[in-house]
Amino acid sequence: MKEFNGRVAVITGAASGFGKEFARIGASLGMKLVLADIQQDALDATVSELAGQGVEVIGLRTDVSRSEQIQALADAAIARFGIVHLLFNNAGVGAGGLIWENTEQDWDWVLGVNLRSVIHGIRIFTPLMLAAAEQDPDYQGHIVNTASMAGLVNAPAMGVYSMTKHAVVSLSETLYQDLGLVSEQVHCSVLCPFFVPTGFSQSSRNRPSELGNATAPTRSQLIAQAMSERSTGAGKVSAAEIAQMTFDGIRDGDFYIFSHPQAMPLVKDRFDAVLRAGTPGDPFAGKPEVRANLVAALRG
């Protein structure tokens, strides 16, 4: 996709982090916007900000884990603008801790937001894009799925989150292959950021009460939360910079969009281990004191 002015973008998780920055850049490029988020006040504030700049924008409170609400989002986009050119399957949450300590509610919450939402987005929006391409030879559509570097490597105490992001990478690669069989006009990318200060570590603020845990967090979950807050808070690349990289990648036709090239050796180490049928490598090999501190904290 080379042209953005006048095109229509649908963005989930649009009221904060990457999603809000996608919306801001889309607005600066003259796009019409359909914004979705589960946090109503933050969504209203984002819509108000952009509408005040003269942007054609609508917002819809959306629980992205529910297919009927993604369908409602698509219906709203078509009713208002008649077409969708760019879809950001971006909403995401996280939970950590030793993987056997995660509850069924943890799994349902993270799987619903991180993975099922992407499945719903692809299933519902891709046919709309392909239909538009059949009707207009100049139509260009693009889907961006937000995964993570955690979708390419596996760190301890991040199992629920990492599993969903690995699935998003796989789903995106399959989408790329499948689209190539049927169209030259609809494309896709997978965004794999590393640690970025976005407020992601506080994602539990929007966790539905019915998926809450009746018991207190375990020691490993508290440690994982503290590590997440520290790591994301120390990130040197901003959400705005990631969003600009993403739009550049869309324009250039990139499939993999990596924000932190310095993290790629971790990916290489993992795939090297797979190829030699070895054991998973140590993600803290370069910082053994981090692993030592984690072991000491977990073993008490």
Question: Is residue 15 pLDDT above 70, yes or no?
Answer: yes
N residues, the chain:
300
Q: Long-range contacts for 160-164 (Cβ within 8 Å, ≥24 apart)?
A: 160/94, 160/95, 160/96, 160/99, 160/102, 160/106, 160/107, 160/110, 160/111, 161/94, 161/95, 161/96, 161/110, 161/114, 164/110, 164/111, 164/114, 164/115
Between CA 161 and CA 135, with CA 10 as vertex, the angle to 5 degrees is: 125
Q: Residue 157 belongs to a domain with what CATH number?
A: 3.40.50.720
Domain count, the chain: 1
**pLDDT band, very low/low/confident/very high, at 228 (cuts 50, 70, 90):** confident
Q: Roughly what angle, to the nearest 10 degrees, separates helices 40-51 and 17-28?
A: 20
Does 267 score more than 90 pLDDT? yes
The answer to whether the CB of 270 falls within 8 A of the CB of 154 is yes
Identify the burial level of 1 via C-beta atoms within 10 angstroms of its C-beta, where 0-12 means exposed, 13-18 middle and 19 or more buried.
middle
Does residue 248 lie in a domain region? Answer: yes
Q: Where residue 201 falls among pLDDT bands split at 50, 70, 90?
A: low
50-76 per-position pLDDT tens digit: 999 999 999 999 999 999 999 999 999
192 assigned to some structural domain? yes
Residue range 32-36: mean pLDDT, rounded: 98
Mean confidence (pLDDT) of the chain: 94
Asked whether residue 24 is assigned to any structural domain, the reply reads: yes
Q: What range does the domain containing 208 cover?
A: 8-263
| Beta-carbon-side half-sphere exposure of residue 58 (alpha carbons within 13 Å) | 15
Catalytic residue numbers read 161
d(CA 260, CA 199): 18
Does residue 143 form part of some domain?
A: yes
pLDDT (0 to 100) of residue 200: 67
The answer to whether residue 198 sits within a structural domain is: yes
- Measure the CA–CA gap between 129 and 284, rounded to whole angstroms: 43
Evaluate whether residue 217 is within a structural domain. yes
- Mean pLDDT throughout 175-179? 98
User: Residue 60 falls within a domain, yes or no?
Assistant: yes
Distance CA 167, CA 146 (A): 11
Asked whether residue 136 is domain-assigned, the answer is: yes
